[in-house]
Amino acid sequence: MEDVLGGFAILVSENDGINPVIRTDSVGKHSIGAGASPQAVIEAIVAMPLEKLNLKFTDVDKYAPEMQNPEVTEPAGAGDVPTQNYKMIAALAVKRDSLKEVK
């Protein structure tokens, strides 16, 4: 997996009223004490920042937690990490009554 190099860049400038606004008042972080289970990670990087801002899971249009390349993670045995994370976000939203469970 170390042979894959990824990059991500954001140009941060003044609010022009058109482009998305980056909020830094509630950044999610996964600290060591949060636990290593998928639920603990998603709670730390998604649920807790939302709670801090009094937002619901449905108040956010797009999520991008731990976006890893499935072409790398699946052969390594970790599965499709982004899909697993989206499922965990949905499960936590259902658990916290932000979404209705679909059967």
- pLDDT at residue 45 in the model: 92
The answer on pLDDT for 3 being more than 70 is: no
48 exposure class (CB count in 10 Å sphere: 0-12, 13-18, 19+): middle
* pLDDT tens profile 58-75: 999 888 877 788 888 898
Q: pTM (2 decimals)?
A: 0.74
